Amino acid sequence: MSNDNNNAAANAPSSNFLRAIVENDIATGKHKRPGLPSVITRFPPEPNGYLHLGHAKSICVNFGLARDYAGRCHLRFDDTNPEKEEQEYVDTIMDSVKWLGFSWEQDGEAWLHYASDYFDKLYEMAEYLIKTGKAYVDSQSAEEMAKNRGNFSTLGTNSPFRNRPAEESLQLFRDMKAGKYKDGEHILRAKISEDAMSSPNMNMRDPALYRIRHAHHHRTGDKWCIYPMYDYTHPISDAIENITHSICTLEFQDHRPFYDWLVDTLAEGGFFQRPVPRQYEFARLNTTYVVTSKRKLRQLVEEGIVSGWDDPRMPTLVGLRRRGFTPESIQLFCERSGVSKADGWIDMGNLEIALRDDLDPKAPRGIAVLRPLKLIVDNFPEGESVECAAPVHPHHPEWGTRSFPFSKELWIEEEDFMEVPTKGYFRFTPPVDDKPGSRVRLKYGFVAECTGYDKDENGKATAVHVNYFPDSKSGTPGADNYKVKGTITWVSAANALQAEVRLYDRLFTDPHPDAGGKDFKAALNPKALETITAYLEPGLAKANAEDRFQFERHGYFVADRVDSQPGKPVFNRITTLKDSWGGK
């Protein structure tokens, strides 16, 4: 996708079919209930990993709809798999949701829930399903169950335990709860209909409701040794919390018939009042140049390919935050990507466009020299300096100015000098024969003319010599008399802040690094991180962690939130000023 196409796509109006559903439900009073808002959504992460860019879309959709229609959104942890869950993940998920700009706290109440809050109720409902012949304990092995379940081309076969008497299943289930059986000895399954094992929808073929797991739970401890399955827990939790619109991604579309069957069946049993929740699906956010599989992200961390979950090259929200992305830019990206039923790919360039659109009007400016080359102003007095001024932001004069010294020795970018210039090159070039060297404006400072250069034994330039024109200082009378084609940035060598700067880029060179069974690690970008020592204008020493700037001509940078120290910031490049991948 070209850069022009990226910009067009990024600025196109977004679609959101869910809004039409919500607005129709509000108009018809479908979910009008005493003391409750008409829109209650939820975000139900599993506390077994770090949230990533795809989760950001779900957060924005669920919390955004609740915000826009005077409702509320619950944060609910699906903590039904104790072997993979940790408090660390609970804490980072809560922190990421808040950082992204959303809250589950409203009107003095905290709409924070855990599936484990409902374990007693879930168990009670499971017993009800057994007693009414809608669930049974299956004693097949996992291999036998998988074989008898069939596949998309083969119908399933009833379990030999499917018609086990309800009393027997109930006793077995109670014994499972009491810890009398080992993991995998028995499992509780739904019996949706007599011909359920012939359903073309695999999710309706007697889905599992409970399994035995002798594992310590991070909230309930060792109280339970049976744990409910997600497909059983999720709809019941929605109904208990009076969720109106249960919004999931498309991979749960085939799970919806079971969702509906379960909440309707339990409503008939008197557990819930109608209307019961309904599930709606939208296409997940698929972004190029990243992987979002928890297994693969964990592999990147555990194999030391990245420095951790918050490595700025990671698509995790903690990684994006440390990289310097703003919550507003991620919200803008999610809004622009729209909400639809059609799966597709969004170019990573669109996230970077959203970031630039967000940062351009609010990021203070600064000057950094990333590839330093010494510039010696031969006719400037030794040991003296002249203060130069620049706007903090070119479009916000009320923000004031910043100042920095002009001195005899400066740092400029290596690319700002060329011994043998190419056509159209308007920066420093040396005199040739009777032709003088080029004249260039040192931005916010003076015009200078190249008089020569020093080079090492390999012929590489080590210093450029110039003479400056004292009456050419920017902003002073007569400065406009000097007409030059080139303007470059610089910092005083004597006063510059020497700082570590990390030049981050995309982690993968392939837009679809794990598609089609490819080895995603084969697409790792060897240039995804380059750490350099740069020279910055001295005022940047005051930068606090997470302060963002536009380094003129280079891009947007942030003071690293982990490694920056008072007076000694470490800067991460968030993104360049222009898309450098559009033509690749």
Q: What is the pLDDT of residues 172-184, one digit of tens each?
A: 999 999 999 999 9
From the candidates 33, 284, 521, 553, which is the catalytic residue?
A: 284
Catalytic residue among 30, 46, 147, 213: 46
The CA–CA distances, whole Å, from 214 to 83, 208, 223, 225, 261 equal 9, 17, 10, 5, 29
Taking only the tens place, the pLDDT of each residue in 241-258 is 999 999 999 999 999 999
Give residue for tokens 């003071």: 559
Which of 311, 342, 313 shows the shortest CA–CA distance to 513? 313
* pTM over 0.85, yes/no: yes
| pLDDT at residue 130 is higher than 80 | yes
Q: Do domains 119-228 and 366-492 have the same CATH topology?
A: no
The answer to whether 214 is a known ligand-binding residue is no
User: How is domain 366-492 classified at the CATH fold level?
Assistant: Ribosomal Protein L25; Chain P (2.40.240)
pLDDT of amino acid 216: 95
- In the residue annotation, 502 being an active-site residue is answered as no
List the structure tokens of 339: 């909400």
Which of the pair, 107 or 278, is modelled with greater confidence? 278
- Strands (E) in 2-47, as ranges, are 40-43
Q: Where does residue 569 rank: exposed (0-12), middle (13-18), buried (19+ CB within 10 A)? A: buried
Q: Answer yes or no: is pLDDT of 511 > 90.
A: yes
Q: What is the pLDDT of residue 2?
A: 40
Q: Please say if 521 is a catalytic residue.
A: no
**Residue 294, phi then psi, degrees to nearest 5:** -60, -40
Mean pLDDT on 175-194: 97
Average pLDDT, the chain: 94
pLDDT tens digits for range 6-15: 444 444 445 7
Helix (H, G, I), strand (E, B) or coil at 185: coil
Half-sphere exposure of 480 (CA within 13 A, CB side): 2
Active-site annotation holds for 284:
yes
**Domain-wise residue ranges, the chain:** 119-228, 366-492, 496-575
Residue 582 has pLDDT above 70, yes or no: no
pLDDT value of residue 293 = 93
Report the alpha-carbon distance of residue 313 to residue 580 in Å, rounded.
16
394 is in an annotated binding site: no
- Confidence band, pLDDT 50/70/90 cuts, at residue 124: very high
Q: Is 58 annotated as a binding residue?
A: yes
CATH number of 119-228: 3.90.800.10
Q: Residues 460-486, buried b or exposed e (16+ Cβ, 10 A)?
A: ebeebbbbbbeebbbeeeeeeeeeeee
Catalytic residue, chosen from 131, 294, 296, 553, is 294
Is there a binding annotation on residue 36? Answer: no
Please state which of the four CATH numbers 2.40.240.10, 3.40.630.30, 3.40.50.800, 2.40.128.520 is assigned to the domain occupying 496-575.
2.40.240.10
What's the pLDDT at 583? 52
Write the DSSP string, 463-523.
EEEEEE-GGG-TTSTTGGG---S-EE--EETTTPEEEEEEEE--SBSSSSTTGGG--GGGG
Q: What percentage of residues in the chain have a pLDDT greater than 70?
A: 97
Mean pLDDT of 96-123: 95
55 is in an annotated binding site: yes
553 is in an annotated binding site: no
For the residues 346-357, what does the mean pLDDT come to?
96
- CB burial readout 317-353, b (16+ within 10 A) else e: bbbbbbbbbbbbbbbbbbbbbbbeeeeeebbbbbbbb
- Tell whether residue 121 is among the known ligand binding residues: no
Q: Is 56 annotated as a binding residue?
A: yes
